[in-house]
Structure 1
Amino acid sequence: MFGEKPTCSICHKEIQGNDVVFVKMRYPNYKGMTEITAYLRNEGSFICEDCFNKKSN
């Protein structure tokens, strides 16, 4: 939702600036995206680095 901080979809930890994250999303059909942060919040699900490393091991 608008104004909410992004969180990890697995552990629900709040994503901070400069954190390494992985985003699961569909590749967009259209061109000319300028507000990438808003697009990622609306269309993607974030996974923090710790959860991603646990899942891939």
Structure 2
Amino acid sequence: MTVFNEEPKCSICKKEIEGNEVVFIKMRYPKRKGFTEVKAYLKNEGQFICEACFEKDKS
């Protein structure tokens, strides 16, 4: 889980995720409908994986 007001980081290499960067997010599909705060939900419930770490894991 991410600390409030902290920028998200890759859960593998700990690199800070920057705006407009391609990321992969590991998370459970939400039960509720109608989310308006998508970025906040992803930061609280997801594990971010940067593209470089995701590509390494695939090979």
Quick one: distance in 2 between partners of 1:26 and 1:42?
A: 12
Opposite residue 37 of structure 1, the aligned amino acid is K
TM-score (normalizing by structure 1): 0.98
How many residues of Structure 1 are paired with residues of Structure 2 in the alignment?
57
RMSD of aligned Cα (Å)? 0.4
Identity rate, percent: 65
Listed as ranges, the gaps of 5+ residues in structure 1 are none
Listed as ranges, the gaps of 5+ residues in structure 2 are none
Deviating beyond 2 angstroms after TM superposition, the runs of 4 or more aligned structure 1 residues are none
TM-score (normalizing by structure 2): 0.95
